[in-house]
Structure 1
Amino acid sequence: MPRTLSRYLPILDWGRRYDRSALTNDMIAAVIVTIMLIPQSLAYALLAGLPPEAGIYASIAPILLYAIFGTSRALAVGPVAVVSLLTASAVGQVAEQGTAGYAVAALTLAGLSGAFLVLLGVFRLGFLANFLSHPVIAGFITASGILIATSQLKHILGVEAHGHTLIEMVGSLLSHLGGINPITLVIGVAATAFLFWVRRGLKPLLRRMGAGPLAADIATKAGPVAAVVVTTLAVWAFGLADRGVAVVGSVPQALPPLTMPGLSPDLVRQLLIPAILISVIGFVESISVAQTLAAKKRQRIDPDQELIGLGAANLGAAFTGGYPVTGGFARSVVNFDAGAETPAAGAFTAAGLAIAAVALTPLVYYLPNATLAATIVVAVLSLVDLSILQKTWSYSRADFAAVAATILLTLTMGVEIGVASGVILSVLLHLWTTSRPHVAEVGLVPGTHHFRNIDRHDVHTDPRVLTLRIDESLYFVNARFLEDLVQDRVTEGCEVQHVVLMCSAVNAIDYSALESLEAVNHRLADMNVGLHLSEVKGPVMDRLKTTHFLDQLNGRVFLSQYDAWTALAQRPDRADAAE
């Protein structure tokens, strides 16, 4: 019982070994991540179309709940750019931004996402996320980064622009160029340039000036905070809010409130599919980061428990004024590099954000939206990786097609259609690829017991024995392909008297493939040609033994291909001589 309880509550495992050294390291990491997370939380709430406090609320209870249920020692949970974009896209279709219905829909989306993730975790269905291939994820994140950066240009330019696709956004921006606010433009461009310089140039500069690694790292991570402070003071001191500079405005000075997601059947129906997409994408992003960081310290991540941890975090967001969250790549890396040893670092981060929500929110009244937009642009452009197109083109045209289609459809049709199309295309390409499996005719490598492709190696063959190595499991998609291949190869009047199917790479045979094998067996029997199997794996043989196929087989089942060659070749002594 205790072991089962600690599996579902990992805090009971690492909490027993918590000591002063871990406390110190977790506190230091929490300070650094909190400094980084305050402006990010405000910015990502803006991206999601929600009030700025929603970003802070989404970073308190979710972090605490993940610390209890999650298994990663370094994963930093909270709002992230891609999930914020997906939230804006999904909620924007059911409610108007700025209304109470919009906020309720965001809570509902978080609740549905959390419930779905917990459900997957309890029933150990994390493997479903594998339907999102890495090329599709890479293409989607790249396209999302472009969309996010483009969507923030309106705040940097100080204009009103709308749209969910790249074409709509660019068209709207171009039509509003005459309304650019020069002061907002200066603030936005200066903040963007400063943040890019901080990310790439500040740390090396501080190191050259003699600063220690930790101090240089903290100063670099505090770059967005410096941009927030300077631009906020400038707007306040010069009264720029009265000259058209859009600011954050009043933010409630309070801890996260208790909220209730909408339970309307119509609202749930409209948000269910987007919630599933957000859950899967968020989980894939989160688990990849968690496993990467855990491997560096030889720690173990339980994917199914991660589903429960992320699900609990999203449920927490739904009931405390937030919106969907997941593990962020940048924050998690910062957390890891800062020395976080346990999930308690996240709990300390939540405490720091709670203090900020109570004591610091009045200070962001004059914070310009352009600065938050600059923070988002700098953060998401690091996600854009168009080199994935060249890499997949060189390696696999099928993967290239999936990436290109995902990027193109995400940019032109919207994020939900883009990722859904990428998943569907990946599945279809997989089915198409496996429908034409690689089947090689093999022969004996001289001096060995090994068999290789006759087109690639100098091997011994026998015109009476045709050996085909099947390099794919046999199922309904490719069953007829094998049937047609054998029929085309064994024609009337040919010398072949034995056909051997080398099954070393066959992990499964479904019922459709079994029927095709039976058809091949009957056809070859009518031609007085034997059908033999070799190197059949145990689970496959166990399944075949439950049928009548082996009883009706017009041949034998050999333990190894060499046994088949020795028994069936016209001159087996030739094989012996080759040894």
Structure 2
Amino acid sequence: MLNHLRGYFPILDWGRTYDRNAFSNDMIAAVIVTIMLIPQSLAYALLAGLPPEAGIYASIAPIILYAIFGTSRALAVGPVAVVSLLTASAVGQVADAGTAGYAIAALTLAFLSGVFLVLLGVLRLGFLANFLSHPVIAGFITASGILIAFSQLKHLLGVSAHGHTLPELLMSIGAHLGETNVITVIIGVSATAFLFWVRKGLKPALRRLGASPKLADVLTKAGPVAAVAVTTISVWLFGLNDKGVKIVGEVPQGLPPLTLPSLSPDLIGQLLMPAILISIIGFVESVSVAQTLAAKKRQRIDPDQELIGLGAANIGAAFTGGYPVTGGFARSVVNYDAGAETPAAGAFTAVGLAIAAVALTPLVYFLPTATLAATIVVAVLSLVDFSILKKTWGYSKADFTAVAATILLTLTMGVEVGVASGVGISILLHLYKTSRPHVAEIGLVPGTQHFRNIHRHNVETDPTVLSLRVDESLYFVNARFLEDLVQARVSEGCAIKNVILMFSAVNEVDFSALESLEAINQRLTELGIGLHLSEVKGPVMDRLKSTHFVHELNGRVFLSQYDAWRAMVPPADTDNAAE
């Protein structure tokens, strides 16, 4: 019973061995991540079109719930750039930003996403995320990074602009360029340049000055806080808000409120598909980060339990004034590098953010939105990776087409169309690749019992025997391909008397494929040609034996391809075999 509970409550597992050393390491990691998350949470809420406090609220209860239900010991859950953009896109279609309806829609989106994730986890359906190929995900994230960066230009320039696609954003910004506020531009450009320098140059500079590695790391992570502090003080000191510099303004002081998502059928209907897309994208991003970090310490995560953990985090966000969350790459890496040993580090981070929500929010009143925009731009530009186009072009034109199409559709038609097309393209790409399975005509390598492709190796063949190695499981998409291939090859070779299908790589034969095998057997029988199988795996053979196919087969089933070859081509005929 306890082991069963541990499966759903991983805290019961790692909590048993929690000690003072783990507590110390988790606390240090929590302090570093909290410093990083304060400006980041405010910025991502801005990106989602929500009040800045929503970002902090979305980083408290969700983190605690993930610590209870999640299996990764380093994953840091909260608002992330891509999910924030998806939230703005989805919620912006049902309500206007800044209204109560917008906030309620964001809560409902988080709730639907959480329920969907938990449902997938309980039903052990984590494998569905595999339908999103890595190249397509990389293309979507690259395009999203570009969209996010351009969406923040309006804050860096101090202009009013809108749009969900790159053309819309560029046209809107161009139409409002005359409204540019020079002081805002100076703040935005300075903050962006400083944050880029912090990422690349601050740590080496501190090390040259004699700072310890840990101190240099902490100060580097606190770089965004310094940018926030300096620009906020500058706006307050010089009254720049009276000169057109947009500021965050009043942020409610206190712990996350108790909120309720809407159960309106109309709203749920409008947000259901976006919630599913956000769930899939968030889970794929989260689980890939979690697996990478776990592998470094020879730990493992349970993808299905991760679904439950992330689902619980999103449901928590829905009831505490937040919006959809997932595991973030940057903060998780920071959490790992800072020495986090257990999910308790996340819980301590939540405590730190709760303290910030209670005590520090008045300090960000004069924080310019240009600084938050700079924080977002610097964070998301690291997501942009055009090298995936070059890599896929050189390796697989089909993958390149999928990546290029995903990037183009995301930029020109919006993130929802982009991610939906990404899912569709991933599935179509899989179906295309498996619809034309690799089937090699093989022959015997001289002096061995091994068989290889006749087009790649010097092998022994016999004109009366056609040996085909099927390198893919057979199912409804590709079954006809094998049927046509055998028919075409038999029509070419009039001397063929036996066909051997080598099934060493076939793990599954569905009913459609079974019918194709029956059709092949019937046609070959009519032509007076024997059909034989070799190296059929046990589970596949069990399925075939449960039908009439094996009994109606006009040939035999051989344990090995060599046995089949020797039965068709006796040793005495070896000297006459053609190479």
TM-score by length of 2: 0.98
> What does the per-residue CA deviation read over 1:5-64, in whole Å, with 9 as the maximum and x for residues that have no partner?
111111111111111101100000000000000000000000000000000000000001
Letter in 1 for 2:260: M
User: What pairs with 1:65-464 in structure 2 (closer than 5 Å)?
Assistant: 65-464=65-464
* Mapped partners of 2:465, 2:493: distance in 1: 14
* Mapped partners of 2:545, 2:502: distance in 1: 18
8 Å contact 1:166–1:411 — kept in the other structure? yes
Aligned to 2:13: 13
Between stretches 1-10 and 188-197, larger displacement belongs to 1-10
Aligned to 2:475: 475
8 Å contact 1:471–1:505 — kept in the other structure? yes
* Mapped partners of 1:31, 1:329: distance in 2: 18
8 Å contact 2:507–2:540 — kept in the other structure? yes
Letter in 1 for 2:18: Y
> What does the per-residue CA deviation read over 1:491-520, in whole Å, with 9 as the maximum and x for residues that have no partner?
287111100011111111111111111111
* Mapped partners of 1:194, 1:492: distance in 2: 71
8 Å contact 2:461–2:577 — kept in the other structure? no
> What does the per-residue CA deviation read over 1:433-456, in whole Å, with 9 as the maximum and x for residues that have no partner?
221111111000011110000000
Aligned to 1:26: 26
1:541 aligns with 2:561: no
- Give every structure 1 segment of 4 or more consecutive aligned residues whose post-TM-superposition deviation is greater than 2 Å: 570-578
C-alpha displacement at 1:483, in angstroms?
A: 1.3
Distance 1:462 1:19, change over 3 A: same
Between stretches 565-574 and 544-553, larger displacement belongs to 565-574
Distance 1:256 1:244, change over 3 A: same
8 Å contact 1:462–1:570 — kept in the other structure? no
Distance 1:512 1:28, change over 3 A: same
Aligned to 1:569: 569
Distance 1:575 1:429, change over 3 A: farther
Distance 1:572 1:466, change over 3 A: farther
C-alpha displacement at 1:300, in angstroms?
A: 1.4
8 Å contact 2:462–2:577 — kept in the other structure? no
Letter in 2 for 1:529: I
* Mapped partners of 2:185, 2:51: distance in 1: 22
* Mapped partners of 2:572, 2:21: distance in 1: 71
> What does the per-residue CA deviation read over 1:221-280, in whole Å, with 9 as the maximum and x for residues that have no partner?
000000000000000000000110000000000100000001100000000000001111
Letter in 2 for 1:130: N
8 Å contact 1:196–1:378 — kept in the other structure? yes
* Mapped partners of 1:475, 1:330: distance in 2: 41
8 Å contact 2:483–2:517 — kept in the other structure? yes
* Mapped partners of 1:373, 1:195: distance in 2: 11
Give the alignment's Cα RMSD to 1 decimal. Answer: 1.3
Distance 1:42 1:531, change over 3 A: same
* Mapped partners of 1:146, 1:492: distance in 2: 54
1:486 aligns with 2:481: no
Letter in 2 for 1:436: R
Distance 1:575 1:205, change over 3 A: farther
C-alpha displacement at 1:429, in angstroms?
A: 2.1
8 Å contact 2:250–2:365 — kept in the other structure? yes
* Mapped partners of 1:23, 1:359: distance in 2: 25
* Mapped partners of 2:14, 2:37: distance in 1: 25
Q: Secondary structure at the match of 1:490?
A: helix
Q: Secondary structure at the match of 1:342?
A: coil
* Mapped partners of 1:262, 1:81: distance in 2: 24
1:57 aligns with 2:60: no
Q: Secondary structure at the match of 2:491?
A: coil
* Mapped partners of 1:505, 1:266: distance in 2: 49
8 Å contact 2:460–2:577 — kept in the other structure? no
* Mapped partners of 1:493, 1:127: distance in 2: 44
Letter in 1 for 2:386: L
C-alpha displacement at 1:570, in angstroms?
A: 5.1
* Mapped partners of 1:502, 1:180: distance in 2: 70
Any gaps of 5 or more consecutive residues in structure 1?
Answer: none
Any gaps of 5 or more consecutive residues in structure 2?
Answer: none
Q: Secondary structure at the match of 2:259?
A: coil
Q: Secondary structure at the match of 1:260?
A: coil
Q: Secondary structure at the match of 1:97?
A: coil
* Mapped partners of 1:513, 1:344: distance in 2: 51
8 Å contact 1:565–1:572 — kept in the other structure? no
TM-score by length of 1: 0.98
Aligned to 1:45: 45
C-alpha displacement at 1:96, in angstroms?
A: 0.4
Letter in 1 for 2:406: T
Tell me the number of residue pairs that the alignment of Structure 1 and Structure 2 aligns.
578
* Mapped partners of 2:497, 2:86: distance in 1: 61
* Mapped partners of 2:88, 2:381: distance in 1: 19
